[in-house]
Structure 1
Amino acid sequence: MYLRTYEHEGRTGYLFGPEGFSGPLAVVDPVGSIEPILAERRERPIERIVLTSGHFDAEAVRALQRHTDARLGAHRLLGPRLEKAGIAVADRLSGGDRFEVGGIEVRVLATPGIDRGSIVLLAGGAWLFTGLTLPTGPRRPAGIVASDPVAHYVSLRMLSQLPPGTIVLPGARTAAERRSTLGRELERNPLLTAADLAAFRAAATGSEPPPEPAR
Structure 2
Amino acid sequence: MQSKSLKKMLIVLTNTTRYGQTTDPTGLWLSEATEFALLVQQAGYQVDYVSPQGGFVPLDPRSMKYTDEEIMTVYETADFQRRALMNSLRPAQVVPADYVAIYYAGGHGVMWDFPDDEALQTIAAAIYGHGGYVTSVCHGIAGLLNIRTASGAYLIANHRVTGFTKAEEVLAGKRSVVPFFNQAEVQKRGAIFTKKRAYKTYAVQDERLITGQNPFSAKAVAQLLLQALAENV
TM-score range, shorter chain: 0.3 to 0.5
TM-score by length of 1: 0.37
Specify which structure has the higher proportion of strand: 1
TM-score by length of 2: 0.35
Determine which structure has greater relative contact order: mean sequence separation of CA pairs < 8 Å that are 6+ residues apart, divided by chain length.
2
Query: Which structure has the larger Rg?
Result: 1
